[in-house]
Amino acid sequence: MNLQGTVAVITGGGSGIGRATALKFAREGARVVIAEYNEDTGRETVNLIEAAGGEATFVRTDVSDFAQVETAVNVAVDTYGRLDVMFNNAGIGHFAPLLDHEPKDYECVVQVNQHGVYYGILAAGRKMRDLQIKGTIINTASVYSYLASPGVFSYHAAKGAVKMMTQSAALELAPYGIRVVAVAPGGVNTPIIQGYKDMGLEENMKRHHMRRHLLEPEQVANVVAFLASSDADGINGSVVMVDDGLAAFKG
């Protein structure tokens, strides 16, 4: 696996899976644009990459705004001359029983987790087409694209859409040589699951994995890096489970 010379935009690159993937990409030789809403954490990721000898650029990005996602893509091309990988990873969560779930909460989660992915597919797909680059677009789906769990109705809605958008975009972008794939993580030790931890559900989450522990962001990042590489050239329109077997058995 070698990403030497490639250019990647990673949304949500300031923490969790996004940061771990940015660091992995940089170690593999990629130049990375960190598209992150939180300026402090985004710049911290850039500093970590540069301290290790890599190249990275920060762009403050609210993925719920198409213009800002498009700007991040343009910065990648303006700064590094190309765009090879778009990792639509930024996401938020909201934990509440369905009947206590307010429309504003639903709309916020869907705007970031679903529309943000659509905006990334659209902006990156157009740019790769125009530059005639046979790139790769990778989306963060979830085991919750497939499995129901109480308290995360809006998250289910958004991640279910990401699964289908991945398949649909792969079909439509194939004539341009662009691959579109997704990863579906299980429970990952990131800030997005803090609500579960606050409710004392962390041990229950661990039991739903075959090896009885949460995944670490680096485990997902390794799969994303593989999917971005030429070694994964035969994978297209697929959602790759990174869940330590969570979706394969009844925990």
Up-side HSE of residue 29: CA atoms within 13 Å toward CB? Answer: 8
Task: Write the CB contacts of 199 (distance below 8 Å, at least 6 apart in sequence).
Answer: 95
Q: In residues, how long is the chain?
A: 251
106 catalytic residue (yes or no): no
Q: Which runs of E-coded beta strand occur in the chain?
A: 7-11, 31-36, 55-60, 85-88, 136-140, 179-185, 239-242
Measured from the Cβ of residue 82, the count of other Cβ atoms closer than 10 Å reads 16
**Could you please report the per-residue DSSP string of 88-145?**
E---------GGG--HHHHHHHHIIIIIHHHHHHHHHHHHHHHHT---EEEEE--GGG
Q: Which domains does the chain have, with CATH numbers?
A: 7-242 (3.40.50.720)
Is 136:181 a contact under the CB 8 Å cutoff? yes
The rounded distance, in Å, linking the Cα atoms of 240 and 15 is 21
The rounded distance, in Å, linking the Cα atoms of 221 and 18 is 8
Q: pLDDT tens string for the chain (251 positions)?
A: 789 999 999 999 999 999 999 999 999 999 999 999 999 999 999 999 999 999 999 999 999 999 999 999 999 999 999 999 999 999 999 989 999 999 999 999 999 999 999 999 999 999 999 999 999 999 999 999 999 999 999 999 999 999 999 999 999 999 999 999 999 999 999 877 766 667 667 788 889 899 999 999 999 999 999 999 999 999 999 999 999 999 998 76
Which residue in this structure is represented by tokens 């639903």?
Answer: 106
C-alpha separations of 250 from 144, 155, 208, 210 in Å: 14, 21, 8, 10
List residues bridging with 180 in a β-sheet. Answer: 137
C-alpha separations of 241 from 23, 83, 244 in Å: 21, 26, 8
Given 106, 155, 176, 196, which residue is catalytic?
155
Find, among 181, 182, 180, 3, the residue nearest to 82 by Cα.
Answer: 3
Is 63:120 a contact under the CB 8 Å cutoff? yes
